[in-house]
Amino acid sequence: MKTNTKQISKFLSLILRHNPGKIGLELDENGWADVGELISEANKYRNQLNIETLEEVVATNDKKRFAFNEDKTKIRANQGHSIKVDLEYTAVQPPEFLYHGTVGKFREDIRRKGLLKMSRHHVHLSKELETAMKVGSRRGVPIILTVRSGDMHRNGIEFYQSDNGVWLTDTVAPEYIEFKK
């Protein structure tokens, strides 16, 4: 039977980023789940997990959403949590420009308020236009915002980069965002 990695990835996103309690799982303060416990708790429901399936999802997920620790006894989501975790990121200097994909219905709010993290820990930005386009396309016709991250950094605003290359910051004020006409 072929593993449905997309379905398992969605399940892991729910459990490891938003609601581990749904299956009775607990994450540590850094967002790590014990692999054995995850498999055991998930298999009490309809999800048939094993270490090989988890390895396949971690290795093949196009956004590299998940990571194992060195000995593969723990797994966590790389970013996007709505629950309190400390992913132990260190502030780093961003590239001069980063991008954010969204859709037109949010444009005016963003012009007024900037980019806000909402229920997540950070605003997510990408170095590549293609990635921003893909993210914006999930909700409709994408618009791409250019963020002057170099200016933000020079003004003392911190940036982090997740293990899968996503750039993170607390907020992006409107004055740092370039809107295409």
Cβ–Cβ under 8 Å, residues 30 and 36: no
Terminal Cα distance for the chain, rounded: 50
Position 47 scores a pLDDT of 67
User: For all residues of the chain together, what is the average pLDDT?
Assistant: 90
Average pLDDT (51-80) is 90
* pLDDT tens-digit map of 47-62: 678 999 999 999 988 7
Residue environment code for 120-159, b if the CB has 16+ CB neighbours within 10 A, otherwise e: ebbbbbbbeeebbeebbeeeeebbbbbbbbbebbeeebeb
CA–chain centroid gap for 116, Å, is 14
Position 146 scores a pLDDT of 97
Cβ–Cβ under 8 Å, residues 136 and 101: yes
Please enumerate in sequence order all residues whose Cβ is within 8 A of that of 181, keeping only pairs 6 or more positions apart, or say none.
none
The radius of gyration computed from the CA coordinates of the chain, to the nearest angstrom, equals 18
Please give the model's pTM, rounded to 2 decimal places.
Answer: 0.71
